[in-house]
Amino acid sequence: MPSIIITGAGSGIGRATAATFIEAGWQVGLIGRREAPLVETAGDSDALVLPCDVTNEAEVEAAFAKAAAQWGRIDALFNNAGVTLPGAPIDEIDVDAFRNLIDINVVGAFIAARAAFGQMRRQDPQGGRIINNGSISAYVPRWGSVPYTTSKHAVLGLTRTLSLDGRPFNIACGQIDIGNALTDMATAMTKGVPQADGSMAIEPVMDVKHVAQSALHMATLPLEANVQFMTVMASAMPFIGRG
C-alpha cells in the first residue's frame, strides 16, 4: 500500500486531497499545526495524525520519522501548507507579515521537502515523489500580491532544483499550479476581488475535488514518469490574459 504525507491537511486543498488519497487506499500522514482539524480530516480512517509546525525543523523531522517507522517507507509528499495576505501595494504590506508568510510558504516547504528527500534517499528501494503546491501566481501575479507571488516563485525554483537533484536517487518532483479552487481561502472570488484595472469582479471557481484528483494522478505515476508542472484552474478565470 503506497504512502503519502500531506502538509496543511487540516483544511482546504490539503483536506480534500487527503480524503481522495484515503479513498484510493493510500496510507496517509496528515501534517498541520492544530491536531483537532487533522483528526476531523482523518475521520474514521487509519490516517496518521502528525500535528507539527512546518517551520519547525525538529517537529517535521520527528513527524516524518514516525510515519516512516510505521509504514516502512514514504512514497510521496504533497507539500501543500501555505498562507496568503490581503491584497495591497508593497508600501502598505507589514514587513513582519511578509516574513511570516515566507517562513510558512517557502521555509516550511523547504523543511518538508528536505525531510521527505532524506527519507526517500535512505530507504530501500530508494526513491519517491515530491509534489509541491505552486500556484498560477508562480507565473503571473494578482494585483497587490507581492508576498504570495514572491513565495510561489520561490516554490517554482524549489521544484525545478529538486527535480534535478533527485535524479540520482530516483526522486521525482513535480508541481501542481492551482487557480480558483473553491475553499475557504477562495470564497472571496465568488463575491468580487480586485482586478489589475482597479475594478472589482466575481471570478469563476472550480470544485476543489479536481485538484485532489489531479494530485492523485501525479502521485500514482511510476517513478519513470513525472508530471513536471500541471495547471488546474477554473476554465474561465483570468489567467490566460490576466490583467
139 an active-site residue? no
ω into residue 238 within 30 of 0, thus cis? no
Single out the residue of 152, 155, 104, 154 nearest to residue 130, CA to CA: 155
Residue 47 burial (10 A CB sphere; 0-12, 13-18, 19+): buried
Which amino acid, residue 94?
Answer: D
Give the H or E element holding residue 219.
helix 209-220
Q: Are 217 and 159 in contact (CB under 8 A)?
A: no
CB atoms < 10 A from the CB of 242, how many?
16
At 122, is the secondary structure helix, strand, or coil?
helix
**Residue in 66, 139, 152, 191 annotated catalytic:** 152
66 an active-site residue? no
**Residue in 66, 148, 191, 209 annotated catalytic:** 148
∠ CA 96-99-101 to the nearest 5 degrees? Answer: 110
Single out the residue of 119, 154, 121, 122 nearest to residue 135, CA to CA: 154
Give CA–CA dist 27/19, Å, rounded.
11
Single out the residue of 1, 2, 34 nearest to residue 15, CA to CA: 34
Distances (CA, A) of 47 to 35, 85, 194: 13, 31, 39
Q: Which residues are catalytic?
A: 148, 152
